Amino acid sequence: MGSLRRRILPRSARLPAIVLGIILVTLGATIVGFTFSTETQRALSAIRAQNRDVRVLQLALLDLETGARGFVLSSRMDYLQPYNDGLKTLDGAKATLATLDRFVASSPGAVPGTRTFSALVAHLRAEIATMVAGAQRGGAEVTGPRVGLDSTKVTMDVLREYIVDFLTIGTDSANAAEEDLAGMQKLLLLLQIVSGGTILAALVFAFRGTARESRARAVAVTQAVGSREQVEHLFAMTDMLQSATGYDDANAVLRATVRRLLPNFGGALYIFNNSGDRLDLSTAWGPGEADPAAPKVITPSQCWALKRGKPHLNLGHEGALRCGHALGDQSALEIPMLARGEVYGLLQIFSPNLTGTDLDAIRPLAIAIADSMSLALSSIALRERLRNQALRDPLTGLYNRRFMEEVLESFAVQAERRQSPLSAIMIDLDHFKKLNDTHGHAAGDTVLRDVAGVIMASLRKSDIACRYGGEELIILLPDSDLETALAKAETVRIRIAELSPSEGVAVSASLGVASIPETSSTTEELTAMADEALYKAKQRGRNNVVSALRKGAIGRFVELQ
């Protein structure tokens, strides 16, 4: 009877059941694929985070070992800076050390009693600390620390081998996860195409007499294809952002993606400055070729999205709750850029529709774009922090001597190519040792920070200020001749002398000025003559500026009158 009923059932009545079955299969496959992709993406993010943390640990170990080695071999105190930086990084890497301990314990061939990775690190630190202490004592004990270099190298080689094995396995796992994601995406795409084509054919066959319903089905299919394209573009954006080396790269990826996914909307990206007290405009784009007139700076107190930590819609009509920085001729969807519990910036999407209905429609897509961009901004900010720690003096915030020596050669090459001058101002604080001896090093550190702030406020964007050593500072002035440099030096001297006295001791400085090609021919001669001019300023009573004489002049220095 049942088989007879199936034979009698008309084909048009069976089509809805077939369509429903296909929809259920596609929905189930999509849910499974989405779950698989989410879990794989989460695992991939965890692998990348572990690999990044292990690379930071690897750099810390290298700084620790090379800094100590350089100090033992040369007895130069500046080599202890990377050694101390490495110690600080290792002290904050307990979670990473625990991860490597588990990796070593689970490695093939590991036997009970094998020393853990953290134990090897502790052993290396102890060896290097003993070696550094011996080198600091000096004298006949120097030979001992140098002999200890071989033993630290053995320990370092073992640690390096474990790290390389860990990163290799992590990279292989990440590549496998990416291949799984790509395969799942292709499978889902194929399934959607097949199911979409089958459903479309069934619908056309079943309802070909109704033109309006047929058009509705076509629109639904078009929307599904558009959604799939949006997902593909978002995946492509995320992949490109992982290769971004700085904010300019990230801005270019964002502009290209938004103009493809949201062609009828303008927008802007704001990023927090280093002090976190304002947001600076990073990039802006319009629906056409012209960029919108977005404000250059936004303060967090003006923005409801940043206050609430949630997306906020600035509607253009009267009576709407609007941010203080909102543009009056359009509506804007504003999304905080959140990653790892920290706010990195603000994404704005503009629309001339004052009711904001079109912005509500694209809100999920805009939030997805903001989430991808937030992760990229957090990675770039981390790299910038690490780079600044390597290039800047931690006390004053000025560039360190290593960076000065590198950039000086670059400035000299550019000056020679453009046939332009290059000047240097050497600065030394007067009676600084007396201040330290009388009032303590804390007062001396405060004076150094204040002087550094005065110097930075006096410079152009193209000028470079560095801590040369102790209380001695140097300023490099590209495209500045000797007269310009002397005027700048006098301005700096006056501003330092106008600082409020610290602990009752007035602050002043002596300055020496030299310039290529007016007084010097090479970078070595430039710094040497500026240093000699500084020494002459000390001899002439301090708190003055002395210039090296131009080539061919009698004598070598002239005091600024």
Coil vs helix vs strand at 522: coil
Pairwise CA distance, residues 218 & 223, whole Å:
9
Pairwise CA distance, residues 329 & 312, whole Å:
17
Pairwise CA distance, residues 65 & 241, whole Å:
33
For the record, the structure tokens of 119 come out as 């134990």
**Model confidence over 265-292: pLDDT tens digits?**
888 888 887 667 788 888 888 776 556 6
Outline which parts of the chain fall under CATH 3.30.70.270: 401-559
Which whole-number Å values give the CA distances from 351 to 359, 438, 480, in the listed order? 7, 64, 47
- Top CATH class, 245-385: alpha beta
Pairwise CA distance, residues 184 & 547, whole Å:
71
| Among 126, 127, 133, CA closest to 148 | 127
Q: Say what the pLDDT of residue 109 is.
A: 61
CB atoms within 10 A of CB 473: 26
For the record, the structure tokens of 561 come out as 């009158």
For the record, the structure tokens of 522 come out as 């090479």
Q: Say what the pLDDT of residue 551 is.
A: 67
| Among 442, 429, 441, 405, CA closest to 496 | 429
Outline which parts of the chain fall under CATH 1.20.120.1730: 12-192
Residue 313: in which H helix or E strand, if any? strand 312-314
Q: What kind of architecture, by CATH, is found in domain 12-192? A: Up-down Bundle (1.20)
Q: Say what the pLDDT of residue 560 is.
A: 41
CA 111, distance to chain mean position in Å, is: 41
Q: Say what the pLDDT of residue 207 is.
A: 55
Per-residue pLDDT of the chain (561 residues; tens, 9 = 90+): 444 444 444 555 566 677 677 778 777 877 887 788 788 888 888 888 888 888 888 888 888 788 877 887 777 888 788 888 888 888 888 888 888 888 888 877 655 556 788 888 888 888 888 888 887 776 444 455 555 566 777 788 888 888 888 888 888 888 888 888 788 778 877 877 877 777 677 666 655 544 454 454 545 445 544 567 667 767 677 777 776 777 788 788 887 888 788 888 888 888 887 667 788 888 888 776 556 677 888 888 888 888 888 888 878 666 677 787 777 677 888 888 877 677 878 888 888 777 778 888 888 888 888 887 777 777 776 666 666 666 788 888 888 888 888 889 889 999 989 999 999 999 999 888 888 887 888 888 888 898 999 999 999 988 999 998 888 999 999 999 999 999 999 999 999 988 866 556 678 999 999 999 999 999 999 999 999 999 999 999 999 999 998 765 544 444 443
Place of tokens 């106008």: 498
Pairwise CA distance, residues 555 & 101, whole Å:
67
Q: Say what the pLDDT of residue 388 is.
A: 61
Region of 391 (left: φ > 0; alpha: ψ -120 to 50; beta: rest) is alpha
For the record, the structure tokens of 250 come out as 């990230």
DSSP class per residue in 338-384: EETTEEEEEEEEEES-TT-HHHHHTHHHHHHHHHHHHHHHHHHHHHH
Outline which parts of the chain fall under CATH 3.30.450.40: 245-385
For the record, the structure tokens of 445 come out as 């550190």
- What is this structure's pTM? 0.40
CA dihedral 524, 528, 530, 536 (to 10 degrees): -170
Q: Say what the pLDDT of residue 6 is.
A: 47
Find out if CATH 3.30.70.270 is the number for domain 401-559.
Answer: yes
CA 253, distance to chain mean position in Å, is: 16
The amino acid at residue 196 is G
